[in-house]
Structure 1
Amino acid sequence: MLGERYFQSRDRLLGCCRRIDELAEASGIETRDTGDEARRELSRPLRIVALGEVNAGKSTLLNALAGAELCPAGPLPTTQRTGYYRYSSTEREVERDNGWVVVGRDLDFLRHFELIDTPGTNSGWRDSVFADSGKYEAVDLLLVVFPSGNTWTAATWELISQLSEEALDKTALVVQQADLKGPEDLQVIDGHMRELCQKKIGRDLPILAVAAGLALEAKLDPESSRKSWSASRFSVFEEFVTSRLCESERRRYLLDRTSQEAANHLREIEAGLDRQKRGMDDDGWFLAGIEREANQLRDLILESSPKTLAGARGRYENEVGKLARRLGSMLGAAPTSWRLFFGDSTAAKAEARLADGLREAIRDFAAADAERLLEECEGHWNDVRPRVVERMGLDPGEPVVSGEAREGVVARFTETVGKSVTGVLSQLRVRASLDAPLRSRNGRLKFVAALTLALLAAAGICGTLGLDHWPHWLLLGAAGMAGIYILMAWTSRIRIAGETRQRLRDASGRFESAMRGDYAEAVRGLFVEYSNGLIGVRRQLAERQATLKPRSEQWDRLYLELKSIEQEMG
């Protein structure tokens, strides 16, 4: 194919440039567009136009270049309007307002070349051909075709003389049907045409003799037409076209310019990726700093926990006072008498009631303290959130411990702190401390109660026997013993309740100590949930960092590819 090496390099370069642009866009990096004009010109197909008189062989020449029967050709004048042949995946023909017909064909050759076939310069459409002469400056190669039997046709030479210097720089003269002339005749024709060039335009133009019909025949059936290809002289003509179009200084400049701009864009992307990496590293340190702030706030709260737990002492002492009052009621004379005969569970009930009271008191304390800590967290978050938005462009939203989640956070904090009740009771040993004095008290009271009952029984017996005075004295003794029973029950109740109150109040330090571990665990758990608010930001940062590595790897591949293309072009 014409210019195969050039088009391979060009397509590789354009593909590399496209991938560089895609990398820049995916990375969010803006690059300069200084090379866009050169790239657009480089990417467009090369345009070749054929001019000449009727039946000069213009259409056949273009068909031979394309290797396909693209332009209509025949012994009679066939081309009546300018045909603009370009690539299209679907075949179509569209007539333009200027009289040109745009013909789309699915032909690989047309991906790289666009062909313009014109009516004869001596035909009925002569005026339109001459009127379009100013457009030929925009083409890449202008082929003026002469039949080998008439290379001095006036109409064609008149058209050549009207071409601008810029168009003449792109012009070559082609002598068609060269197979009908011998070598000496072609030499004479060449000399004659050079004289006409000097006479008409004052300069030389390239002159090539070909037999395009033989060349087309050979391309369509290469196995049976090898001799035709050799006789067509078309290989020399294609080398000329390749040299003039694909190996020209202009093409070299466009390739070099596009390659240089691609290298510049790669450098800009490299700098951008490096800035992004540094920025992401800084964002990581920024988030770590915020997390350290949250940890510092947590540590300050833990350091002040003795003071906070000291605030719970009032609730504890209140429950101790309630227990002492309940214990006084439970140790009254009447309840005590009942339990002397049916079993005493005062210590177990007292401990259970204290446990229920402490559990409720600790839950109230924990719920109130959780609300206080959440206020601290929300205050910190209100400071953190705008800083994250400003620094990273990411909004972490509301704190995860607020809104509907707040109730669950308080419940978990309260549950964790509430676990300390078991430890508190194990240290206070309420039941064990009550068992001994209650057993001693019950023993004494049982003795007095037994004497009272014995005196009452003796009084009954004496009365039955009719003994004078003894029943009265025995009843009086029983009444005295009952009074002693009541007095002992009252005084021992006051003593035991008071001693229990005092002992439990003295143990308030152990109450705080028993709560400290579970309270610290609850605080840490609350701050873990609070810190989860940055997980979303961390995840987005990690996603950004994850995309940076493949982009850097892609940059490396593009850099090596561009260097390979430069070596290939060099």
Structure 2
Amino acid sequence: MIGKDYFDVRSRLMAVLEDLGSLAKEVGAETRQMSVMDNLSHSLRDPFVFVVTGEVNVGKSTFLNALFGEEFCRTGVMPTTDKIHFFKHGTKLKRVPISDTLEEVHVPADFLKDFHVVDTPGTNSIESEHQEITERFMPSADMVIFVFSAMNPWGASAWQFLEKVHRTWMRNVVFVLQQCDLRAPEELEAIQSYMKQLCKQRFGREFVLFPVSGKKAFLARSSGLDRERLLAESGFTALEEHISKSIGSAGSRVGKLGMAMKIAQDILVSLKKLVGGRDEEQEERKRILKGLEHSLSSVQARTQAKFGPTLEGTVSDFSQASAGLVNRLREGHVPGNALAYFFSKKTWSTDGMEQKLIEEALSTGTKRWEHAALILEDDVEHSSMQFGTAVRDRLKVELPETGLKPEPAFWDAHKRRFKERLEELHREIARGLKLESLLQPGWQESSRLAFFAVLAAVLLVMGGGALGGLAPRLANESLDADGWKMVGAALALVGAVVGWVLWKKSGAKLLKLTTAVDEKLALAKKELREKLEVHLGDELRVVYAHFDGVLQPARSKLNEQESRHNGLQQQVKDMSAKLEKLNKDHKALSAPRKD
């Protein structure tokens, strides 16, 4: 592709300018900057202008078709006339007369987006007015290609026309010796040598000269047969390299690229400052949001601290109810109660112990938590005023007329939920103890042993006493009264020992039972405390969720802005890297050309 390096730099620069325009719009840059970038992009799109001249029938059309790889100069599109043809890109083929001597030809060929081709009539058919128009294209031409036929390069009209070209524009002149395939190599060398001498004699300088075969070059590009050989023999490779270097080093064009890069860099610096300013705004919003979140957390912590006495009181209620339960178990080991248990089992049954524990623990706890709920309501109402003011003033968030204060229905639901959850926790803890299944077998055995201990002691001691009292009557030859008294005393002693042993066994059973109950109740008390703390935390989060809900839109917006801002920073970074690479490539284009 002709001018590949230049067009690559230009294309990348235009892409950067487009990205800069999008970035400028997004960050709210000045309209003037966006207008400058639009103008730069449009100016960079200005096509190169090639003026092609030469005598009639020297193969200009074949040469142009071969040079650009498309048959845009064919019979019917550009018939041989005495008019100047100005080829431009168009969506469809169209000829637009400009004057009697100038005609625009619009051709749907992609390369014409970057190149405008001015094809002059043969120099040997130019009249005075044609020559005047032709010379008007010379100042704006990026390259003037004089096409000579290798069969007759000495046509006087072409050399005479060249003499009329201003010396300033001669630096853009290139000689093309067309139809070189019709000459032998030694003939071409002789022709080239003579043309160089003639140029020095007539113009005091040499022009770059390329012997080519337009026919072979066009065949190489259109047919695809033996492409490399045909292209090498055509001589077009050297010509195209020269044109590409000329395009890349064209002073005004390369200078325009450099100026566009400089302006793009300046604009990027200003946009970087705008993005940096947004960074400071983002950080300030973050600080405000974090401050409000910390305030909300502190408010919750203060409220939770106020529930400390209530929580401790509830745990204390449970402890007292538990202690009462254990004391009642121990009361069953009193001798009178042991006998009473035997004669009235219902009085000392373990049935309903769990429910009784729940009822006793909740007897004062419910009222305590109802009072705590009132404290919470008052605390939230007070906090809603302070927090709402901070949100409105610092985050600029619009709040409803009622502010952050919950509706009465919310508090009714909260109190109901609080009470239900408190009762549920006590039931959960008490039933988890499984006291009735734990106590029933052991309690019955301990009570039975206690009963028999008392019974054995009473009966045997009373029996021993009775024998002692009846000793005189029972005295006989085998055992006198003192003997009977000793028997009675022994019987009473046995009763006392049996009763004592049975009582000790009953006490050991009861001790083991109450120890197990104490351990379970201690764990239950710890579990109750932990679950109450969790429940309290959950309730406070529910109550203050409305506060956090006010922050959520601001939080989401901040996250969205931060994500967008990070994207902008990355864009700036990417564009800086692209411009740096473009500058290096631009310097390579600007390097002095070695022909």
TM range (shorter): 0.5 to 0.7
Equivalent residues of 2:380, 2:405 under 8 A apart:
no
Equivalent residues of 1:218, 1:224 under 8 A apart:
yes
Query: 2:556 aligned to 517, 527, 539, which one?
Result: 539
Give the 5 Å matches for 1:288-437.
288-294=290-296, 374=381, 377=384, 380-382=387-389, 384-389=391-396, 396-399=397-400, 406=407, 409-415=410-416
When residues 397 and 193 of structure 1 are mapped into structure 2, their CA distance, relative to the original with a 3 A threshold, is same
When residues 219 and 79 of structure 1 are mapped into structure 2, their CA distance, relative to the original with a 3 A threshold, is farther
Equivalent residues of 1:197, 1:205 under 8 A apart:
no
Question: Is structure 2 residue 54 aligned with structure 1 residue 52?
Answer: yes
Aligned equivalents of 2:247, 2:45: Cα separation in 1: 14
SS at match of 2:399: coil
Aligned equivalents of 2:237, 2:282: Cα separation in 1: 59
Equivalent residues of 2:53, 2:120 under 8 A apart:
yes
- Amino acid in structure 2 at the alignment position of 1:118: T
SS at match of 1:145: strand
Query: 1:170 aligned to 153, 163, 172, which one?
Result: 172
* 1:504 counterpart residue number: none
SS at match of 1:142: strand
Query: 1:187 aligned to 188, 193, 196, which one?
Result: 193
When residues 105 and 241 of structure 1 are mapped into structure 2, their CA distance, relative to the original with a 3 A threshold, is same
SS at match of 1:236: helix
Equivalent residues of 1:85, 1:114 under 8 A apart:
yes
When residues 376 and 165 of structure 1 are mapped into structure 2, their CA distance, relative to the original with a 3 A threshold, is farther
Give the 5 Å matches for 1:60-139.
60-72=62-74, 78-79=80-81, 81-87=83-89, 90-93=91-94, 95=96, 97=98, 99-107=102-110, 109-110=111-112, 112-123=114-125, 127-128=129-130, 130-131=132-133, 133-139=135-141
When residues 417 and 95 of structure 1 are mapped into structure 2, their CA distance, relative to the original with a 3 A threshold, is same
- Amino acid in structure 2 at the alignment position of 1:117: D
- Amino acid in structure 2 at the alignment position of 1:191: Q
- Amino acid in structure 2 at the alignment position of 1:388: L
SS at match of 1:138: coil
CA deviation string 1:192-227 (max 9, x = no partner): 3444435xxxx7654544443343334334534766
Aligned equivalents of 2:51, 2:3: Cα separation in 1: 17
Deviation at 1:535, TM superposition (A): 0.4
TM-score, normalization by structure 1: 0.57
Equivalent residues of 2:63, 2:214 under 8 A apart:
yes
Aligned equivalents of 1:378, 1:135: Cα separation in 2: 79
When residues 180 and 16 of structure 1 are mapped into structure 2, their CA distance, relative to the original with a 3 A threshold, is same
| CA-based RMSD | 5.2
Give the 5 Å matches for 1:528-567.
528-553=545-570, 555-564=572-581, 566=583
Equivalent residues of 2:146, 2:173 under 8 A apart:
yes
Equivalent residues of 2:196, 2:206 under 8 A apart:
no
CA deviation string 1:383-405 (max 9, x = no partner): 5324323xxxxxx3324975998
* 1:276 counterpart residue number: 278
* 2:4 counterpart residue number: 4
Deviation at 1:529, TM superposition (A): 1.1
Aligned equivalents of 2:13, 2:271: Cα separation in 1: 17
* 1:240 counterpart residue number: 242
CA deviation string 1:523-567 (max 9, x = no partner): 664333123111001011112223344554555555555555555
Aligned equivalents of 2:62, 2:48: Cα separation in 1: 19
Question: Is structure 2 residue 520 aligned with structure 1 residue 527?
Answer: no
Deviation at 1:132, TM superposition (A): 5.1
Deviation at 1:247, TM superposition (A): 3.5
Aligned equivalents of 1:53, 1:299: Cα separation in 2: 97
- Amino acid in structure 2 at the alignment position of 1:172: V
CA deviation string 1:205-255 (max 9, x = no partner): 545444433433343345347666555443332233222222445555445
Aligned equivalents of 2:421, 2:18: Cα separation in 1: 67
Residue correspondences, number: 422
Equivalent residues of 1:175, 1:207 under 8 A apart:
yes
Aligned equivalents of 1:421, 1:187: Cα separation in 2: 112
Equivalent residues of 1:119, 1:129 under 8 A apart:
no
Deviation at 1:28, TM superposition (A): 5.5
Structure 1 unaligned blocks of 5 or more: 307-350, 390-395, 424-515
SS at match of 1:101: strand
When residues 42 and 519 of structure 1 are mapped into structure 2, their CA distance, relative to the original with a 3 A threshold, is closer
TM-score, normalization by structure 2: 0.55
When residues 237 and 519 of structure 1 are mapped into structure 2, their CA distance, relative to the original with a 3 A threshold, is closer
CA deviation string 1:466-521 (max 9, x = no partner): xxxxxxxxxxxxxxxxxxxxxxxxxxxxxxxxxxxxxxxxxxxxxxxxxx999998
* 1:197 counterpart residue number: 203
Structure 2 unaligned blocks of 5 or more: 309-358, 425-532, 589-595
SS at match of 1:51: strand
- Amino acid in structure 2 at the alignment position of 1:284: K
